[in-house]
Amino acid sequence: MEFGEHRIATPEAMHELGMRVARDLEAGDLLVLTGPLGAGKTTFTRGLGEGLGVRRPVTSPTFVLARTHPSLVGGAPLVHVDAYRLDGAMALDDLDIDFAGSVVVVEWGRGKVDEFVDSWIDIEIERPEGVAVAEGDDDLIEPRVVRILPHGPAWEN
């Protein structure tokens, strides 16, 4: 797993980071994504889905709360959750997600998963304000800092 801090310059690099992280994941792994709107949480998750070989497209589950993407290669499904509108851990638990049999990504899940799981990977995406680089004619790309940190006994080694 690529724990630590990563500097990500483009959306394509964010997608690639997701693909690389996917190589080390298996059923039962939980990732909690934190960052402001537009930080790249869904872009990272798209890369994760591609790396896991799940059915696409991987889109933001904002309006459905949780979306399951079955594996096309015999691996674990990807469950993509948007916990922004959930009140807490009990509301997340009410979604009846198969945490043991899936790779689960919870956007906006910080403080909502630690009540019922003991291990997860915290992924924080920071989007610096006022820092942009030109790409193409009118496109501005803001570089990101991504911190990937393990929590709990499953990641001690």
**CATH number of the domain enclosing 46:** 3.40.50.300
The whole-number pLDDT of residue 98 equals 86
- Number of domains comprising the chain: 1
Evaluate whether residue 100 is within a structural domain. Answer: yes
Helix (H, G, I), strand (E, B) or coil at 46: helix
Evaluate whether residue 157 is within a structural domain. Answer: no
Residue range(s) defining the domain that contains residue 115: 4-152
DSSP state of 71: B
Distances (CA, A) of 68 to 33, 49, 81, 88, 130: 17, 11, 9, 21, 36
φ, ψ for residue 81, nearest 5 deg: -115, 140
Tell which phi-psi region holds residue 35, choosing left (phi > 0), alpha (psi between -120 and 50) or beta: left
Q: Which residue type occupies 37?
A: L
Residue listed under structure tokens 């496109």: 139
Chunk the chain into consecutive blocks of 10 residues (it has 157) and report each block's average pLDDT, rounded to whole numbers: 91 95 94 91 95 89 78 94 69 74 90 81 86 50 90 85
Evaluate whether residue 56 is within a structural domain. Answer: yes
Evaluate whether residue 65 is within a structural domain. Answer: yes
CB 81 within 8 A of CB 97: yes
The token duo for 51 is 């790396």
Predicted TM-score of the model (pTM)? 0.87
The whole-number pLDDT of residue 77 equals 96
The whole-number pLDDT of residue 3 equals 93
